Structure 1
Amino acid sequence: MRAAEVARWFRTSDGVRLRYLEAGSGRVVVFVPGWCMPGRIFAPQIAALARRWRVVALDPRGQGQSEVPRDGYEPTRRGQDVRDLLAHLGGGRVVLAGWSLGVLDVLSYADMAGDGRIAGLVLIDNSVGEGTPPPPRPSRFFQNLRQRRDATVRGFVAAMYRTPQDAAYLDGIAREAQRMPVEASIRLLSYPRPREFWRDSLYAVRRPLYYAVTPRLRGQAEAVAQRHPQPMVEVFEGAGHALFVDEAARFNASVEEFLSRRAAWA
């Protein structure tokens, strides 16, 4: 039986009202989505994991159905938003799962708060500052966002998947991805941190790690597997950037194993 999903709200320490989706009960896993994406993109994980776990999917500021403030679209504030969410959820360790830009938001939280509340990290398909950097984003992307945002965002969303997706689903995701001001969305892709900041933030967390990537990040995954004290690394060869949708069954099974056997709940 599928656990009922509910939408809840909390207010950040700077007064912004953020929404999150929640289902299930027990130990907590918190999902943080990528650039401009809503928390509902983790629907396959909410449905599968809430049978055994309390699953939370955040709409970060300006995303999903959360409030769209004028500022706060930078890593320190976004990390604090995660910290505020954990304070709202209550005590005990959690597994933090970030995808794409959400990887950086989770690592920003870890840098400011340490790993005291972290039972484990799930980092999905973004650079963590290891080894050779991934190929740069096309140089005209920001210009295209300013000049023809709708078409650019729709192209970006379509390119996240390798498996066929319903047209209405893609349309909804693309519409939600344009809620924040365009300059705020560009600031999110321009975090003022060197690559080494993310690498050092990752290795300062001594809890278990699951790093799931597509082939472009294979080199970083190999480096993490060698350097991290408790790594679990997988490369999703045939998936797109939204690998947790393209290969939901495989990804969910891996997260189940991580939560059940590897996470440091005690």
Structure 2
Amino acid sequence: MPFMNLEDDLELYYEDVGMGSPVIFIHGVWMSSRFFKKQLPYFRQKYRAISLDLRGHGQSSHVQKGHTVANYARDLKKFIDELHLKEVTLVGWSMGAFVIWEYLHQFGENNVKGTVIVDELASDFKWPDFDIGAFDLPALTGMMRDIQSDQKELLQGFIPLMFKEDRSQSELEWMLEETTKMPASIASTILFDQSIIDCRPYLNKITKPTLLCFGKEEKLIPVAAGEHLEREIPNAKLVLFEDSCHCPFIEETDRFNRIVDEFIGSLN
């Protein structure tokens, strides 16, 4: 299994398959690269398809420091530089979108060909001037306390909300196993940071083509979030997935893969 050493106590797990233009899949909070297991076999046929576990997530080192979106973006920069990747397409699901936007904010667009944003808001927080946010302060602090008291129970309730239709018991079991690899101390820390980050000031500075993939089912993220991003990001296009909630790449795999493939092809 490939690991990349970024710091003395930090190794990132990643998968790297295929040849061609690089496409990097970046997961959401508490999740891992395993959630993209239906993407890599497809995209490796035409591209260099890469997925990684962010620090503290999945099989990467569970270090106790550095758990902010801004720092995850710095990890991504080191990862890209270490692999000498050029003209990358970044695919970010949920918190992965924040990592992309923060990466662009810190390091610019020079080495990025385009981005794919999957079911995320410009900010998860309900700011006074942003009422479509996912969390207000009581909801956020409640979730953080629930993680500390019973992380497994919280995830058992949260994971089904990511899908429009009920998933099989075996699917729910591997997802729970994957998300409980992360210590509760890290889980609550990164939940807070990714929930209050506000990327709205960055959006109108993005010039690279952006594909927005949003599930029509609104258990977690409203369609209005995608419509807002389409208005704010120049050169953005919104595609809705009728039979999906938060995970169109799992719920409508074939359509998702095809649409993202066509988008990446258009960048050439």
**Counterparts of 1:119 and 1:131 in 2: how far apart (Å)?**
30
Q: TM-score, normalised by structure 1?
A: 0.88
What's the CA shift for 1:84? 1.0
Deviations 1:241-263 (A, max 9, x none): 112100111111110111001x2
Q: 1:219 to 1:81 in 2, by over 3 A?
A: same
Displaced runs of 4+ in structure 1, greater than 3 A?
129-132, 163-166, 192-195
Q: Which residue of 1 aligns with 2:133?
A: 134
CA contact (8 A) 2:215 2:247 kept: no
Q: 1:244 to 1:259 in 2, by over 3 A?
A: same
Q: 1:204 to 1:193 in 2, by over 3 A?
A: farther
Q: 1:244 is aligned with what amino acid?
A: F
Gaps of 5+ in 2: 124-128
Q: Which residue of 2 aligns with 1:54?
A: 48
What's the CA shift for 1:194? 5.8
Q: Which residue of 1 aligns with 2:200?
A: 199
Q: 1:166 to 1:61 in 2, by over 3 A?
A: same
Q: Which residue of 2 aligns with 1:143?
A: 145
Q: Which residue of 2 aligns with 1:115?
A: 109
Correspondence 1:43 to 2:44: no
Q: Which residue of 2 aligns with 1:222?
A: 227
Deviations 1:86-127 (A, max 9, x none): 112214110011111111111111111111111001111110
**Counterparts of 1:218 and 1:149 in 2: how far apart (Å)?**
28
Q: TM-score, normalised by structure 2?
A: 0.87
What's the CA shift for 1:205? 2.1
Matches within 5 A, 1:62-81: 62-81=56-75
Range moving further from structure 2, 179-188 or 67-76: 179-188
CA contact (8 A) 2:98 2:199 kept: yes
Correspondence 1:82 to 2:76: yes
Q: Which residue of 2 aligns with 1:188?
A: 190
What's the CA shift for 1:164? 4.5
Q: 2:94 is aligned with what amino acid?
A: S
Q: 1:136 to 1:81 in 2, by over 3 A?
A: same
Aligned partner of 2:252 among 226, 230, 247:
247
Identity %, equivalent residues: 23
**Counterparts of 1:159 and 1:50 in 2: how far apart (Å)?**
30
**Counterparts of 1:225 and 1:63 in 2: how far apart (Å)?**
30
Name the SS of the counterpart of 2:66 in structure 1. coil
The alignment covers a number of residue pairs equal to 256
Name the SS of the counterpart of 2:223 in structure 1. helix
Q: 2:260 is aligned with what amino acid?
A: V
**Counterparts of 2:8 and 2:212 in 1: how far apart (Å)?**
31
Q: 1:171 is aligned with what amino acid?
A: E
Q: 1:134 is aligned with what amino acid?
A: G
CA RMSD of superposed structures (Å): 2.1
**Counterparts of 2:146 and 2:255 in 1: how far apart (Å)?**
35
Range moving further from structure 2, 162-171 or 69-78: 162-171
Q: Which residue of 2 aligns with 1:237?
A: 242
Q: Which residue of 1 aligns with 2:10?
A: 16
Q: Which residue of 2 aligns with 1:257?
A: 262
Name the SS of the counterpart of 1:190 in structure 2. helix
Gaps of 5+ in 1: 1-6
Correspondence 1:209 to 2:203: no
**Counterparts of 2:32 and 2:150 in 1: how far apart (Å)?**
21
**Counterparts of 2:172 and 2:27 in 1: how far apart (Å)?**
16
